[in-house]
Amino acid sequence: MCENHDPRTIDRRTLLRVAGAAGIGASLVGVAAAPAFAANSQNGWSGITSSSDTRLDRSFKASGVAFPGGVRRGDVSTVLRYVASEFHRTVEPLVVGWCWGWADRDIRGKEVLSNHASATAIDVNAPDHPLGAEGTFSTSQVTRIHQILDMCEGTIRWGGDYSGRKDEMHFEINVPPSSSALPRVAAKLLGAVVTGSQLAITAADASKVFYADGSGRMVNLWFSGGDSGWHGPSAIQGTTGANGAVSAAKNGRNVFYTQSDGTIANSWFDGSKWNGPYALPAEGNNPVVAPTARMSRVFFTKDDGSIANAWRGSDGAWRGEGRIPGKAAGPLASQGDGNRVFFTDEDGYIANSWFNSGSWHGSSRIGGKGTYPAASENSVNPTVFYISAGGVLKVVKWEHGVWSDPVTIPGNPVGPLDVSADGSHVVYAEADGQIRNTWRGGSGAWHANDLPGKGSNPVIADNERRVVFIGEDGRIYNTWRSAATDGNWAGPSRISHLD
Ligand SMILES: [Zn+2]
C-alpha cells in the first residue's frame, strides 16, 4: 500500500519537523490546530473507517483481479474499474495479490486523509511500481496510461503525474463528490450515447460497435471471445458533430463521421492503434460508407439535400466532393460495392442513383413514398426496405433487370431500419420502442417477432445472431441467439463490462 503518497498530503509530524528546522513554528500554529482526524480525504470524499460500511464494494474486481479493501460503490467504482481494466488490457496485466483499494489504516495524526481511506484510490501492481520510484513504466506504457486518463476527462489522477514524489502504482479520483463530471464520465464509460446518436457495427461479426459517446467523442466497444467479453469504450481520435451519425466499414478498421466543423472525417485502425481524424475533402451530413472491406466510397448529404460523395483512388488518396443526381430528404443507404445510393427524394419517394460507365445516373424512383431506405450488401440483386407513407414496412428487389413492385411485409417501424448482409432480416424499433425483427423464411414468406428489449436504432450483424441497440436509458444493449440459447433470442444485456 502506498502511504502518504500525495505530495500535498504532508503529515503533521513532517510539518513540525520542518517547522523546527526552519524556525517557522509560529506560522504553523494554525495548521497544527486543525482537526487531527479530518473527515474527508485529500480529494474531498468522506473517510470510511469500517470494512462493513455499506458504501464500500469489498468485492471490487477488475479484469478478474480482486482489489482487497475494495472501492467506493457507484460512479467511483465504475470509473476506477474502467481504469484498472484498461490498465490490464493496454499497459500491463494486473497481478493477483499486487493490487489494493480501500485501506482502514491508522492516519497517525495526518492533516489530510489518503484517498485510499475514502475508498477513492487504487494501487496496481504495487511491487513493480513502488512509492517514490520514477520511470517504472516505459514511454509507450505512459502514453497508454494517459490515453486511459484522457477518457476519464480529468476525474482520475495518476500518481506518476504528481509534481513531487511520484507514486506510479496509484490512481485516484480527482474531483470532489459534488462534481458533475464524475457521474457524466461514469455514464459515458457504461455506454451512454449522445442524444440522437447512431450506432455503427462491423457487419461481419458485430465485434465492434462505434458511436459518439456522452461527450461527443468517437469511441468503440468490441467483443472478444472466451470469458473476456466486451471491452471498452476505447477512444478513437475524433469528435462527432451534433447529430452523432457514424458509419463503419465492414473491416472494422475505418469509421466515418461528421466533425463539428462540418467536414467528413475518417479514423482508422492500423492494427495496433487508432489514427486520425483525417478530414476528407468533403463537408456534409449523414455519412454512409459502402460496407465493403475495400472501403472506397462515402456518401453524404449537403445542407440543401444534395447528395455527394468522396472516394479513395487507387493511390490511396481521398478525392471529393463529387455531386450525385438527386436530393435526399433524409438519411442515405448504400449497397455493398458503393456504386448505388438509395434515398427519399424531394417528393418523398424512395429513389436511387447509380454509377455506371464512368458517371453517375439518376435519380430514379424504385418504390412508393417512404422513409429510411436500407439495403442489403448484394450489389447484383440488392434488396431494399423502407417505411411506407402508411408506416408499414415495404421491400423491393432488383430482379431480372427491373425493380420489383413494393411488397408489404409485417412490421410498423419508426426507423431507422437495419438490414442483414444478405437481405433476409430487417430490424427496427416500433412506436412503443419495442425492438422487432422481420425475416424471410425458407418458403419465401415474411415473418416478424419481438426481440428482447426496447429502445432505438437497432443494428443487426453476426449472421443475424446479434442485434445491438440503444436502450431506453440511453445506453447500449444487445440481444443474441446461439446454440447455447437453443436458437432463442437472449438478453437484453448491456454491452458493458463495468456493471
Ligand atoms: Zn495508492
Cβ 256 vs Cβ 266: under 8 Å: yes
Distance from the CA of 269 to the center of ligand 1, in angstroms? 34
Q: What's the chain's length in residues?
A: 499
Which residue type occupies 434?
Q
pLDDT in tens, 247-288: 888 888 888 998 888 899 999 888 888 888 899 999 998 899
Q: What pairs with residue 419 in β-bridges?
A: 426
Whole-angstrom Cα distance, residue 384 to residue 364? 14
The verdict on 104 and 35 lying in the same domain is yes
Distance from the CA of 190 to the center of ligand 1, in angstroms? 25
**Helices (H), strands (E): how many in the chain?**
5, 34
Main-chain phi, psi angles of 133, to 5 degrees: -80, 145
Distance from the CA of 85 to the center of ligand 1, in angstroms? 17
Grid cell at residue 205 = 461479426
Helices (H), 353-479: none
pLDDT in tens, 219-243: 888 887 654 678 888 888 777 765 6
Distance from the CA of 217 to the center of ligand 1, in angstroms? 30
Which of 152, 186, 220 corresponds to the end of one domain? 186
Distance from the CA of 159 to the center of ligand 1, in angstroms? 8
Determine, yes or no, domain membership for 7. Answer: no
The verdict on 409 and 464 lying in the same domain is yes
Distance from the CA of 123 to the center of ligand 1, in angstroms? 5
Q: Could you tell me the residue range of the domain that residue 420 belongs to?
A: 194-494
Distance from the CA of 478 to the center of ligand 1, in angstroms? 37
* Cα→Cα distances 195→192, 251, 425, 433, Å: 9, 27, 26, 15
- Look up cell 463537408; give the residue: 283
Distance from the CA of 81 to the center of ligand 1, in angstroms? 15
Distance from the CA of 39 to the center of ligand 1, in angstroms? 19
Distance from the CA of 390 to the center of ligand 1, in angstroms? 62
Distance from the CA of 257 to the center of ligand 1, in angstroms? 40
Q: How many domains is the chain built from? A: 2
Distance from the CA of 180 to the center of ligand 1, in angstroms? 24
pLDDT in tens, 132-156: 999 999 999 999 999 999 999 999 9
Distance from the CA of 167 to the center of ligand 1, in angstroms? 7
Whole-angstrom Cα distance, residue 266 to residue 151? 20
The separation between CA 99 and the C-alpha centre of its own chain, rounded to angstroms, equals 27
Which of 163, 186, 209 corresponds to the end of one domain? 186
Distance from the CA of 168 to the center of ligand 1, in angstroms? 9
Determine, yes or no, domain membership for 6. Answer: no
The verdict on 143 and 249 lying in the same domain is no
Distance from the CA of 192 to the center of ligand 1, in angstroms? 29
The verdict on 146 and 35 lying in the same domain is yes
Whole-angstrom Cα distance, residue 188 to residue 24? 48
Distance from the CA of 121 to the center of ligand 1, in angstroms? 6
Distance from the CA of 3 to the center of ligand 1, in angstroms? 7
Of 434, 438, 496, 432, give the one whose Cα is nearest residue 464: 438
Distance from the CA of 170 to the center of ligand 1, in angstroms? 4
Query: Looking at residue 4, what is its pLDDT?
Result: 45
Distance from the CA of 98 to the center of ligand 1, in angstroms? 12
The verdict on 143 and 207 lying in the same domain is no
pLDDT in tens, 356-396: 998 999 999 999 999 999 999 888 889 999 999 889 999 99
Range with lowest mean pLDDT among 13-17, 381-385, 471-475: 13-17
Of 371, 404, 364, 374, give the one whose Cα is nearest residue 388: 371
Determine, yes or no, domain membership for 55. Answer: yes
State the pTM of this model.
0.85
CATH of the domain at 329: 2.120.10.70
Mean pLDDT of the region 73-86: 96
Buried b (16+ CB within 10 A) or exposed e, 313-349: eeeeebebbeebbbbbebbbbbbbbbebbbbbbeeeb
Residue 14 has pLDDT above 70, yes or no: no
The verdict on 173 and 244 lying in the same domain is no
Determine, yes or no, domain membership for 273. Answer: yes
Determine, yes or no, domain membership for 229. Answer: yes
| Strands ordered across the beta sheet of 208-212 | 200-201, 208-212, 217-224, 229-239
- Opening angle at CA 283, ends 277 and 286, nearest 5: 85
Which of 186, 219, 234 corresponds to the end of one domain? 186
Distance from the CA of 311 to the center of ligand 1, in angstroms? 51
The verdict on 131 and 276 lying in the same domain is no
Query: Looking at residue 390, what is its pLDDT?
Result: 85
The verdict on 209 and 288 lying in the same domain is yes
pLDDT band at 107 (very low <50, low <70, confident <90, very high): very low
The verdict on 267 and 416 lying in the same domain is yes
In the predicted model, what is the mean pLDDT of the chain? 87
pLDDT in tens, 39-54: 899 999 999 999 999 9
Determine, yes or no, domain membership for 338. Answer: yes
